[in-house]
Amino acid sequence: MAAKKERKKTVQELEAPVVNLNVNYDTVDTEPKKERPMGREYPKSRNKMPEKQLFEFAEYHPQDAERTGYSNYSYWKSVWANFVKNKAAVTMLCVFIVLFIFTFVAEWISPYKLKELQQNNNEIFLLPSSEHWFGTTQAGKDYWVITWYATRVSIGLAAMVAVGQIVVGTIIGLIWGYVRKLDRLFTEIYNLIDNIPTIIYMTLIALMVGQSVGIMAVAMIAFGWLGTARNVRNLVFMYRDREYNLASRCLGTRLFRILFKNIFPYLISVIVLRLTLAIPGTIAYETTLSYLGLISEEYSLGILLRNSRDYFLRFPHMLVFPAIIVSIITITFYLVGNAFSDACDPRNHV
Amino acid sequence: MSEARNLQAVDFDARARQVLSQEPLLSAKDVEVTFSLRGNKLVAIRRASLDLYEGETLAIVGESGSGKSVFTKCFVGMLDKNGSITHGSIEYDGMDLTQLTEKQWLGVRGKKIAMVTQDPMTSLNPLKTIGKQIQESVELHQGLRGAAAKAETIRMLEAVGIPDPERRYKQYPHEFSGGMRQRVVIAIAVACRPQILICDEPTTALDVTIQAQILDLIRRLQKEQNMTIIYITHDLGVVANVADRVAVMYAGQVIEIGMANEVFFDPWHPYTWALLSALPQLGVKGEKLPAIDGTPPNLFNKIVGDAFAPRNKHALNIDFLEEPPMYEVTATHEVKAWLRDPRAPKVEQPNAIKLLESQDGKSKGTDPNAYHPHLDPNRQPLIEVKNMQVTFGTGRKKFVAVNDVNFTIYKGETFALVGESGSGKTTIGRALVRINPITAGEVYLEGQKINGKITKAQDLNVIRSCQMIFQDPMASLNERAKVDYIVSEGLINHHLYSSEQERQEKVQKALEEVGLLPEFSSRFPHEFSGGQRQRIGIARALIMEPKFIVADEPISALDVSIRAQVLNLLNDLKQKRGLTYMFIAHDLSVVRFISDRIAVIHKGRIVELAEAEELFLHPLHPYTQALLSAVPNPNPYLERTKKLLVYDPSIHDYSTDKPVWEEILPDHFIYGNQRELDGYRKTLGL
């Protein structure tokens, strides 16, 4: 009150009376108001203010005080900014996107169509030329069209399996980590599956159920979620007893809402990282399975590599083209995954 | 009462003369420290100056982010790698510390200037024995070897007050309690026989009774080894206890520096005024504390004028335009405020500052107009706890956290639960909101049993009626959800709204009620400061329209200037909505201001329960007495002459005479056996 009165008077400089500074806090307006979004209008320089006024009490605005500590840091913006800084990863990501689009375009720009390819004994094992850009196969078919189609199949399979593994792994991992009663059960299931080499399961399924891509994809998901689930479970342990989860329990929030609103968002960076690494992993695995003859697809990168093994010393183009594409995909996801995980680490947000 | 102590009163005038006659031992001039963070420049220290004189204890006070730690880290060359000194000099022993190479630092750091850090849990190596760690320091800095080094180490352990040093020498850090570990850390620092010892919040992580012992220890070592000590803290009670001189820091600058008596009783910076008058020790129960609005400034932004101006209720126009220079108040007292300029209006200090000198550790009274539930003959019980027991673990690892606890909380009162860390106070709070299951006993809400098996409707009713406010505002909000979701979580769970619009209205109303802008609802928690986040947490609990709120140390993680805001808010809501609180705390000075009745808990048992003033005037249980004697008082004269009592649980002999929970006076309960109860009655004159 006293301060307010003083403001109206012009201060008589040195002879100013002693001011009682005790503010009556009940009369101070502590309710912040919407009307002054920009806060106080500050004079920009002291020249615009007479010296007398300089030493008068200024008006007090609680909402200005409320604004003093504001920070505009955003986690995902910083992640993106850091990721973009990694030139190698960004370049490779662009290369991969072009490559993926090209798997659709390649057949269209080529004079040969996949569906019309026929055995042609006159043109077997032709080296790359202006007519057959990637050469031909042992059956005399155009290798360009086949390679790009195989790439598309492999990427599609890898994406499907990777997403499947991560989704299943994350859901199981969340429940495994959060619900104490189920911890023992899931641990035993994990041990049971993990202690037998996966290749044995895959062989059994291929021989007993079938060797189509669909069946093998399901099988790869069924045994591939383990790593993600365990990783997620360990992370959930970290977040489970944080105070904000206790607060949610206090408010009576249901289990699934807690899992997906309170815990899942903290795991996104790890999940995306695992996803990016699962794609090249699946392509490599698919190659292995094809090589062992457990997948009976006509064309995929793995099948092409297997088929080329008998001829590649004499006809290296059979191996080189699919190998280059597999390398590009693997290197891309490896670099992107690493760059992303670095970008997600808050300690690097400097 | 195994040990009592009486300190000499300090003669600050003599100290002041001593300071004036000396050349400074260490002199920092216009130091500027810049950090590069997330691509931005952050100026953490904005041209701060400081002189340190031999043999004195200088306390640096400030809130988090004021730069007090960073400033002193410059003196030992331990800035984080993304920070650098961009301006100024630090003169010490004929050297400029800002220019030293890492090799030259080895001769200064530890040897001449040593540091004790805040957290004793992380500053020791868990894989090495205590003895080895101290001996390392002894060998490195005193040049002793073998048996001689070991003997010196054991002498050091003894010197810092660790009993049975021969045996302790061979033990690992996990075998030591927090207070004991801090003693070890001090021993390591002091083993180098440094000239200057920097203590960075050495007692913040410790309980009050342990804190007082550590402060005592540092004082004794200072005298024995003739050290100069810089003491960094945010606790004005600690400052009053240790400091000869006090420097107040705000937003990277020293804004007021002077002898302790000058800064406490004759401060001239509005920030110092605000800090001192916001102390709950000076508050009148039932009235508002003079809080400081807002939060310390964000140092990423360029600061124009006086950094405190936007929060300053006595700001001058010039404060917003130009940075004030240092004005001399006395030869030893300087202040950086335009109010000291001859052209400024003549002012008097606020009343609260005048109160401080007469501060005698007694209550500042209560507001007779406010509602005091303990005086109401018709008070109704809201929560009743009978023989509550909470245990953790099973079989051999079983641990009884809360043992046979009985109390009643009445409608409209603030019931405080006070105890040290690990005493079980948080466990009781969590048991009441049913986060921790109760092993034995009963809890009643308005006469209805709420533990064990209850119907679904009753369960919902309990959730709505009992809510909780958490200690750490940084951990208690979901960082990845918007404020809108966080506040309305309870509404969504129980469908307490009929339309989306109604939900939003309720959220806005709740935010306004805790003094936040409604536009905040679309932001994420990380955009807010600690005090604002704590208010979001309060809004989240309030929206359920509860009758009873468990406040688990709601202000202990907050800065001093912000505590009063939250205390005022809690008191306000209590009056407006007729809320009942259980206020869990370890700081008795706060509890006295805010609560109607206080329960003191020790090792899972409530040992004494009484009306707040009654407890402070007639503490009966020796543990209560020890706790009260350790409460820091923001008056340097009183704080330095106070008697410290130490509680020794072995004085209770409960082997034959079993203890009981007895109402010794109306509304004054105590835990003891018949012989002790007779003793207590005698003291009360019954």
Helix, strand or coil, per DSSP, at residue B598: strand
Identify the CATH class of B377-595: alpha beta
Cβ distance B378 to B562 under 8 Å?
Answer: no
For an interface test with A, the pick among B476, B478, B495, B553 (most A C-beta atoms closer than 10 Å) comes out as: B478
Q: Tell me the shortest Cα–Cα distance from B314 to chain A, in angstroms.
A: 6
**Residue B475's closest chain A neighbor by CA?**
A243
Question: If one looks up domain B13-112+195-361 in CATH, what number appears?
Answer: 3.40.50.300
Q: Tell me the shortest Cα–Cα distance from B272 to chain A, in angstroms.
A: 14
Using alpha carbons only, what angle is made at residue B205 by residues B201 and B206, rounded to the nearest 5 degrees?
A: 105
pLDDT for B303 beyond 70 = yes
pLDDT for residue A307: 83
Residue B623 pLDDT grade (very low, low, confident, very high; cuts 50, 70, 90): very high
Q: What is the rounded distance in angstroms from the CA atom of residue A277 to the CA atom of residue B132?
A: 45
B311 contacts A74? CB cut-off 8 A: no
Q: Tell me the shortest Cα–Cα distance from A252 to chain B, in angstroms.
A: 6
Using alpha carbons only, what angle is made at residue B619 by residues B616 and B621, rounded to the nearest 5 degrees?
A: 150
ipTM of the complex: 0.80
Per-residue pLDDT tens digits for B439-450: 999 999 998 998
All residues of chain B having their beta carbon less than 8 Å from the beta carbon of residue A54 are: 316-318, 321, 343
Q: What is the rounded distance in angstroms from the CA atom of residue B165 to the CA atom of residue B163?
A: 6
pLDDT for residue A40: 47
Q: What is the rounded distance in angstroms from the CA atom of residue A291 to the CA atom of residue A306?
A: 5
Q: Which two tokens stand for residue B670?
A: 């105590």
Name B418's bridge partners: B585, B600
Kindly state the DSSP code that residue B109 receives in the 8-state scheme: B
pLDDT for B2 beyond 70 = no
pLDDT for B384 beyond 50 = yes
pLDDT for B215 beyond 60 = yes
pLDDT for residue A45: 53
Residue B390 pLDDT grade (very low, low, confident, very high; cuts 50, 70, 90): very high
Per-residue pLDDT tens digits for B268-295: 999 999 988 888 887 777 788 888 887 7
Nearest to B296 among A30, A68, A244 (CB): A68
A25 contacts B346? CB cut-off 8 A: no
Q: What is the rounded distance in angstroms from the CA atom of residue B313 to the CA atom of residue A20?
A: 13
Nearest to B314 among A3, A257, A262 (CB): A3
- Predicted TM-score of the model (pTM): 0.82
**Residue A78's closest chain B neighbor by CA?**
B38
Q: What is the rounded distance in angstroms from the CA atom of residue B338 to the CA atom of residue B344?
A: 7
Q: How far is CA B272 from CA B110, B156, B349, in A?
A: 33, 39, 11
Q: Tell me the shortest Cα–Cα distance from B560 to chain A, in angstroms.
A: 15
Residue B466 pLDDT grade (very low, low, confident, very high; cuts 50, 70, 90): very high
| B104 contacts: CB under 8 Å, gap ≥ 6 | B95
Q: Tell me the shortest Cα–Cα distance from B630 to chain A, in angstroms.
A: 30
Q: Tell me the shortest Cα–Cα distance from A261 to chain B, in angstroms.
A: 7
The number of CA neighbours under 13 Å toward the Cβ of B149 is: 18
Per-residue pLDDT tens digits for B9-34: 577 888 888 888 889 999 999 999 99
Strand order in the sheet with B26-37: B40-52, B26-37, B83-92, B95-96
Please give the average per-residue pLDDT across A51-73, as a whole number: 69
Per-residue pLDDT tens digits for A224-283: 899 999 999 999 998 988 889 999 999 989 999 999 999 998 888 889 889 988 988 898
Residue B224 parent element (H or E): helix B208-225
Q: What is the rounded distance in angstroms from the CA atom of residue A308 to the CA atom of residue A317?
A: 9
Q: Does A38 touch chain B (CB under 8 A)?
A: no
Which of B431, B453, B422 lies closest to B387, judged by CA? B431
B297 contacts A14? CB cut-off 8 A: no
All residues of chain B having their beta carbon less than 8 Å from the beta carbon of residue A63 are: 517
Per-residue pLDDT tens digits for B96-132: 999 999 899 988 988 899 999 887 778 889 999 999 9
Architecture category of domain A78-348 in CATH:
Orthogonal Bundle (1.10)
Nearest to B315 among A58, A69, A71 (CB): A58
Cβ distance B325 to B254 under 8 Å?
Answer: no
Q: Tell me the shortest Cα–Cα distance from B616 to chain A, in angstroms.
A: 28
Per-residue pLDDT tens digits for A294-316: 887 778 888 888 888 888 888 88
Q: Does A17 touch chain B (CB under 8 A)?
A: yes
pLDDT for residue A30: 47
B477 contacts A251? CB cut-off 8 A: no
Domain ranges in chain A with CATH number 1.10.3720.10:
78-348
Phi, then psi, of A75 in degrees rounded to 5? -60, -55
Residue A64 pLDDT grade (very low, low, confident, very high; cuts 50, 70, 90): low
A21 contacts B317? CB cut-off 8 A: no
Domain ranges in chain B with CATH number 3.40.50.300:
13-112+195-361, 377-595
For an interface test with B, the pick among A76, A251, A260, A270 (most B C-beta atoms closer than 10 Å) comes out as: A251
pLDDT for residue B427: 92
Helix, strand or coil, per DSSP, at residue B57: strand
Q: Does A6 touch chain B (CB under 8 A)?
A: yes
Residue B298 pLDDT grade (very low, low, confident, very high; cuts 50, 70, 90): confident
Lowest mean pLDDT among A247-261, B47-61, B134-148: B134-148
Nearest to B347 among A18, A42, A51 (CB): A18
Residue B387 pLDDT grade (very low, low, confident, very high; cuts 50, 70, 90): very high
Q: What is the rounded distance in angstroms from the CA atom of residue B58 to the CA atom of residue B15?
A: 12
Task: Return the axis-axis angle of helices B456-465 and B483-494, rounded to nearest 10°.
Answer: 150
Lowest mean pLDDT among B68-82, B315-329, B515-529: B515-529
Please give the average per-residue pLDDT across B588-607, as a whole number: 90
Pick A245 or B313 by higher pLDDT.
Answer: A245
Q: What is the rounded distance in angstroms from the CA atom of residue A341 to the CA atom of residue A9?
A: 62
A51 contacts B317? CB cut-off 8 A: no
Please give the average per-residue pLDDT across B131-158, as a whole number: 88
pLDDT for A11 beyond 50 = no
Q: What is the rounded distance in angstroms from the CA atom of residue B37 to the CA atom of residue B84?
A: 12
Q: What is the rounded distance in angstroms from the CA atom of residue B405 to the CA atom of residue B605?
A: 6
All residues of chain A having their beta carbon less than 8 Å from the beta carbon of residue B344 are: 55
Q: Tell me the shortest Cα–Cα distance from A229 to chain B, in angstroms.
A: 22
Inter-chain CB pairs, A–B, below 8 Å: 205
Q: Which of residues 198-257 of A touch B (CB under 8 A)?
A: 242-244, 246-254, 257
